[in-house]
Amino acid sequence: MLKPGATIGILGGGQLARMLALAAAPLGFRCHVFSPEKDSCAFDVVHAGTCAAYEDEAALSRFAGSVDVITYEFENVPAKTAAFLARRKPVLPDPKVLETTQDRLIEKNFISGLKIATASYAPVHSAMQLADAVKTVGLPAVLKTRQLGYDGKGQAKITKSGDSIAAWRSLHNAPCILEGFIDFEREVSVVAARGRDGKVECFEVTENEHRDHILKISRVPAKVTPLLAREARQIATRIAKAFDYIGVLAVEMFVVRKGQRRTLLVNEIAPRVHNSGHWTIDGATVSQFEQHIRAVAVTSAATARTSARSRARLGRKQTLALHLLARELAGPADRFRLFPRLLFRWFFVMPAELHLAENALALHFLLQRLQGLVDVVIANENLHACSFVIDPRVTVKAPKTGALSRAALAEKALRVHSGNPSTSGSVRNTEF
């Protein structure tokens, strides 16, 4: 257990490192970020920063000498870098986890070795092996590079009538893994934390929707049965224990329907805090970022529960048009969060005390208006607290028919319940 004032080293300086550092400060810890990118957004909020290549051993040695424990924000930190640092200071999670999760074939073998179901798969290192893999796995299938590649990169789908050799050539004949194509009902994930004491805490199962291979919408709780949700948490727990993992990880899974029965297939493991866990910042009793800091620095993770505010019921007709939402959320009493991710996006959170009138636009209409504008939506018909990540440069046109009268009614109701908050300049760049 680290003492207050100790320094946590973080490899990587993106949005996840930034939020880890912000979570560490209230617990009394300082952070030192190591990143090769000079414009890394985490540099703005940490006690110290080092901008150097991951292969720069002199810089790595100085970094290790200035911190008490080291962690990482994403799984593509070179495993050799983590191993080099581990010979000097504790690195959590263990660098061996990176060696496993950075190679899709090794990762699949690890999961299968735990008797946990995955899509059918086979290695591909040559044209002959590709032909054998197609016979074993069948078509359609997805050919993926064994290393690197994310958000759909390093992948090629092979249809039943497709050219498998052309697909492999499109990936530059790199070592690959062929995975059977899964006709899933929904995608879900479990974010779990395991502390040094071996205790595992799982957040609620999250349902995720991807567009163009990038996470767009996360819904909590996922629309799965309690039995399936429990199984998903058990799978994440088994994986964390098998790794002897310390920190936060996410396990992504497919829900597959077979007749009236639904089963889970593990897609991949993310050995880090995860985008599908951002809702925990304001929607749970402890965020995934605080959980990670607690796990690597304090000994044990905290008990994770969805907050009471997030469980408050939102009536089906109680909602608000997007332009009013942004305006009302700019009040001084509301929660506001700047969410840096390559481009700046605004992160709004609906306050617990905000009551919406039945005259406002329907919830489904609000979510429809957000499509294409929002990077992450955390919402549910039973949730009062909703989180939105909004690109402020996007222009949204309000609907013409009846919009003014309904919006006026909604605005009036909001002022009755939450006062008359002033409009903040933080949303001036967006035309509503």
**Which strand (E) or helix (H) includes residue 277?**
none
Task: Dump strand ranges (E) for 100-246.
Answer: 121-124, 141-145, 155-158, 176-180, 186-194, 200-202, 206-211, 214-219
274, burial (CB in 10 Å: exposed 0-12, middle 13-18, buried 19+):
buried
Cα–Cα distance for residue pair 415/399, rounded to 1 Å = 22
> What pLDDT score does 358 carry?
31
Contact 236, 249 (CB under 8 A): yes
pLDDT of residue 81: 97
> Tens of pLDDT along the chain (432 residues)?
888 899 999 999 999 999 999 999 999 999 999 999 999 999 999 999 999 999 999 999 999 999 999 999 998 899 999 999 999 999 999 999 999 999 999 999 999 999 999 999 999 999 899 999 999 999 999 999 999 766 667 888 898 888 889 988 999 899 999 999 999 999 999 999 999 999 999 999 999 988 877 788 888 889 999 999 999 999 999 999 999 999 999 999 999 998 889 999 999 999 999 989 988 887 888 999 999 999 999 878 877 776 544 333 322 222 333 334 444 433 333 333 433 333 323 333 333 333 333 323 333 444 444 444 333 333 333 333 333 333 333 333 333 333 333 344 333 333 333 333 332 222 222 222
pLDDT for position 334? 36
d(CA 407, CA 388): 20
Q: Give Cα separations from 413 to 334, 375, 403, 406, 422 (angstroms).
A: 17, 28, 15, 11, 16
Per-residue confidence (pLDDT) for residue 343, from 0 to 100: 30
pLDDT value of position 391: 35
Q: CA–CA separation, 293 vs 156, rounded Å?
A: 37
Report which secondary-structure segment, H or E, holds 43.
none
User: CA nearest 218: which of 388, 95, 349, 394?
Assistant: 388
pLDDT of residue 152: 62
* Both structure tokens of 173: 């004949």
CA–CA distances in Å: residue 205 to residues 208, 229, 250, 261, 367: 10, 6, 10, 19, 21
